[in-house]
Amino acid sequence: MDLKPKILIVDDRPENLLALRTVLRNLDVELVEAHSGNEALKATLHHDFALALLDIQMPEMDGYELAGILREEEKTSELPFIFISAVYTDNLNVFKGYEHGAFSFITKPFQPEILINKVRFFVEKKHQEITMNQLYTDLQRKTSELENKAGELALSSKYKSEFLANMSHELRTPLNSILLLSKLLAENAEKNLTQEQVEFAQVIHNSGSGLLQLINEILDLSKIESGKMEIDMKEISLQTICKNLTDLFAPLAREKNIDFAVKCNPDLTGMIKTDALRLEQVLKNFVSNGLKFTEKGTVELTMRKPDPLRGEFGSSKPENFIAFEVKDTGIGIPKEKHALVFDAFQQADGSTRRKYGGTGLGLSISREIARMLGGEIMLESEVGKGSSFTLILPVGL
């Protein structure tokens, strides 16, 4: 692409071309000269012009004829031109010039500033056109690059999802055997193992359980990223949710000597419409985190309406939403880390992971599931006093 605008000047007299060159010498343009109409037409085949300056009185083909041909050709149909004449200066010829599509009609002798200002207008216009064309070309190139990258990423994501699905299947089969056998060894029903052997078996079982959780969470994260996580919305009883979570976590709470309770406010309806499996997955994450990070005190799951005083999501129409709040008296989370805990593979700090374990995926997955269910998660926490994770969902009935 030519970066400097080109101006076509057409005159059969060399001294007139010299005069035009002298007047326009300080403009940032390239001048292309033609001594006749035919030369001018040939020049338009090889160059793209920002403007043409045409003399009218020329042998063989005068300026009017040249202008007519330029207007008929597709490449030059929009080319602006200015007539310059020392002979045809009467009003009739000036009108004829405009009738042929001239931008302006300048009579000789002329003031150089007048011509320079008129030419400068088209030069700047051409500069803008060149800039816009460059931007458009760059945009097309970058768009093409992004489309190629998007295609590569989509293919990569597909391969990753397929790999994780296959890996999950291949790992789960031997891992389930390890978990089953290590559990049997840890239970030591035949009383033929030493205490140390039982403890080793328990370590194997705990490590295997952690690995299985990591596999499941990575697979869930992959499904979310690829948009393949399925949501099955059905009616479910709140009492069923209460019972399932109580049965699952009450033994662990007793083992840690932590008071665990599930409370359901009496003003709530008995049914909601949601994906029960995914809802319980989120609540299990909240409760297990509460039990993990609480060394003494309580962990409570409360089902209630959203509270407008706490600025909770859905509190403008609380009758259409339900809040599942899991509150603990654990270690708490620094305020500056509240957003961080919802990022994949992140925890409040490194020491937390070293001391309490965990993959750093649970809350990230929980937030995405909450949004897929039409809800949101809110966090309140203070170091040394505990945390409150609240899942707010539409009732959906």
Are 52 and 7 in contact by the 8 Å Cβ rule? The answer is yes
Rounded to 5 degrees, φ, ψ at 338 are -60, -45
Buried b (16+ CB within 10 A) or exposed e, 5-23: bbbbbbbbeeebbebbeeb
- The model's pLDDT over 1-44, given as tens digits with 9 standing for 90+, comes to 456 889 999 998 898 899 888 998 888 889 999 999 899 999 99
What three-state secondary structure class fits 260?
Answer: strand
Classify the C-alpha dihedral 188-193-194-198 as positive or negative.
Answer: negative
* pLDDT number for residue 88: 56
Residue 86 has pLDDT above 90, yes or no: no
The verdict on 369 and 268 lying in the same domain is yes
* β-bridge pairing 259-264 and 298-304: parallel
Tens digit of each residue's pLDDT (9 = 90 or more) over 51-60:
899 888 888 8
How much is the pLDDT for 394? Answer: 92
Residue 352: its pLDDT value, please? 53
Total count of domains within the chain = 3
pTM score, whole prediction: 0.56
Q: Is the pLDDT of residue 89 over 70?
A: no
Do 253 and 209 fall into the same domain? no
pLDDT value of residue 265: 72
90: confidence class by pLDDT, cuts 50, 70, 90? low
What number of other Cβ atoms are within 10 A of residue 234's Cβ? 11
**Given this model, what pLDDT does residue 109 score?**
77
Stretch (H or E) spanning 389: strand 386-394
Range of the domain at 341: 234-394
The verdict on 90 and 151 lying in the same domain is: no
Tens digit of each residue's pLDDT (9 = 90 or more) over 174-183? 888 898 999 9
Specify whether 203 is located in the same domain as 284.
no
Contact of 43 with 32, CB cutoff 8 Å? yes
309 and 359 together in one domain: yes
> What pLDDT is recorded for position 104?
75
Residue 325, beta-bridge partner list: 302, 390
d(C-alpha 214, C-alpha 336), whole Å? 26
pLDDT tens by residue, 127-170 = 787 788 888 888 888 888 888 888 887 777 677 777 777 777 77
Q: How many other CB atoms sit within 10 Å of the CB of residue 147? A: 10
CATH of the domain at 305: 3.30.565.10
Residue 357 pLDDT more than 70? no
In a shared domain, residues 261 and 331: yes
The CATH number covering residue 77 comes to 3.40.50.2300
Average pLDDT, the chain: 84
Shared domain check, 355 and 376: yes
Report the pLDDT averaged over residues 262-272: 76
Q: Are residues 156 and 264 in the same domain?
A: no
Residue 375 has pLDDT above 70, yes or no: yes
Last residue of a domain, one of 110, 132, 162: 110
What pairs with residue 379 in β-bridges? 389
Q: For residue 354, what pLDDT band results from cuts at 50, 70 and 90?
A: very low
> Is pLDDT at 315 greater than 90 in this prediction?
no
Res. 378: pLDDT tops 60: yes
Does 129 reside within a domain?
A: no
385: part of which helix (H) or strand (E)?
A: none
Identify the CATH number of the domain in which residue 192 sits: 1.10.287
Contact 245, 262 (CB under 8 A): yes
Percent of the chain, pLDDT > 70?
88
pLDDT at position 316: 79
